[in-house]
Amino acid sequence: MNQTESFAKTELIRANLHSVIHAGKQVVELLLNAVLASGHVLLDDVPGVGKTTLAKALARSLEADFKRIQFTSDMMPSDILGSSVFSQKTGEFIFYKGPIFANILLADEINRASPRTQSALLEAMNESQISIEGGHYDLPHPFLVIATENPIEYFGTFPLPEAQLDRFMVRFSIGYPNEEQELAMLNERWDSDPLEKLKPVISCAELQDLQKEVRTVSVERSVQEYMRAIVSATREAESGFVLGASPRALLDLAHCAQARAFLQKRDYVIPDDVVFLMPFVLAHRLQVSSESKHAGQTAATLLDAIRKKIRVPV
């Protein structure tokens, strides 16, 4: 696939998503960033704003296998991974694959499951494989988890552990539509759902080609040092964090910056890419100290303070 074809494919995905999701341009761009950078997505927002619709729209835009899991408090790891059942006919145990064996997995309301069940996704999200009952099984490629959670409801929910949060490349919110977007949504959905009309515009093989092409985007040495300085600063005592960003966070920031440059038809990353992505790639991985919380600081404001202290490469 040449460069012109690559850009045309991304435009088709973008157009598909915008035809269904009436939200700011930033929402679609962040989702595409993660997809092209081979990362997982955490949608953190109130009910009814279109989190599930966004995930379904992406799945329908790709010629890919899509599965949805509605997480509940009584769910077990085997409900996600699968289990072995003894066959009286063959006298052997047969492994039946769970819904995790898909290209796109929608983990709906992931924070309703217990930490034990949430941990079933850890290996899959990091290594695209699972280990169960003494066997190892590779997951389909590409493999993408899109998880949703409600940040304002605490009854019957469990906070995502740090190891889980660190495996999500980006976390963002969709937010409420503006007046014009909400009216457009009303008019489009009087008698049908535009989601049902979406057609695949790209295959899994083509998506993997795009992901490989994104990794060829150049990241100049000074920009690499800029990203490393930001991540390193979150680990310092005076940063206001008790848990800083991991090396995985640095890799995700770099890969996401490559994807953003690619979407903007550049073959090189600029500092603006890093600055834009910082709150979406890093903030959810950081733990703010109690002193900073009492002072009214958040992960986003502390990150912004760090950014202002670090010289931007020219």
Q: Are residues 303 and 156 in the same domain?
A: no
- The string of pLDDT tens digits covering residues 247-275 is 999 999 999 999 999 999 999 999 999 99
- The string of pLDDT tens digits covering residues 173-224 is 988 888 888 888 888 877 778 788 888 999 999 999 999 999 999 999 999 9
pLDDT at 235 over 90: yes
Q: How many structural domains does the chain have?
A: 2
pLDDT, average across residues 32-43? 95
Q: Are residues 227 and 208 in the same domain?
A: no
Which amino acid, 149? E
Q: Are residues 46 and 98 in the same domain?
A: yes
Check residue 185 and give its pLDDT.
Answer: 82
Question: Quick check: is 229 in a domain?
Answer: yes
Virtual torsion, Cα 239, 241, 246, 249, nearest 10 deg: -80
Domain that residue 203 falls in: 3-212
Question: Quick check: is 314 in a domain?
Answer: no
CB of 170 within 8 A of CB of 41?
Answer: yes
Check residue 176 and give its pLDDT.
Answer: 85
Q: 200: closest CA among 103, 67, 106, 60? A: 60
Q: Are residues 64 and 197 in the same domain?
A: yes
Q: Are residues 104 and 234 in the same domain?
A: no
The mean pLDDT of the chain is 89
Check residue 160 and give its pLDDT.
Answer: 87
Distance separating alpha carbons of residues 18 and 12, to the nearest angstrom:
10
Q: Are residues 94 and 189 in the same domain?
A: yes
pLDDT at 154 over 70: no
Domain boundary among 195, 212, 229: 212
Sheet of 104-108: strand order equals 66-70, 104-108, 144-149, 40-44, 168-172
Check residue 99 and give its pLDDT.
Answer: 92
- The string of pLDDT tens digits covering residues 97-128 is 889 999 999 999 998 888 888 888 999 999 99
Q: Are residues 169 and 131 in the same domain?
A: yes
Of the pLDDT bands very low, low, confident and very high (cuts 50, 70, 90), residue 52 is confident
Residues 6+ apart with CB under 8 A from 218: 267, 268, 269
pLDDT, average across residues 86-99? 82
Decide: pTM greater than 0.85: yes
Question: Quick check: is 164 in a domain?
Answer: yes
User: In CATH, what number is assigned to the domain containing residue 282?
Assistant: 1.10.8.80
Domain boundary among 212, 239, 273: 212
DSSP letter (8 states) at residue 65: -
Of the pLDDT bands very low, low, confident and very high (cuts 50, 70, 90), residue 53 is confident
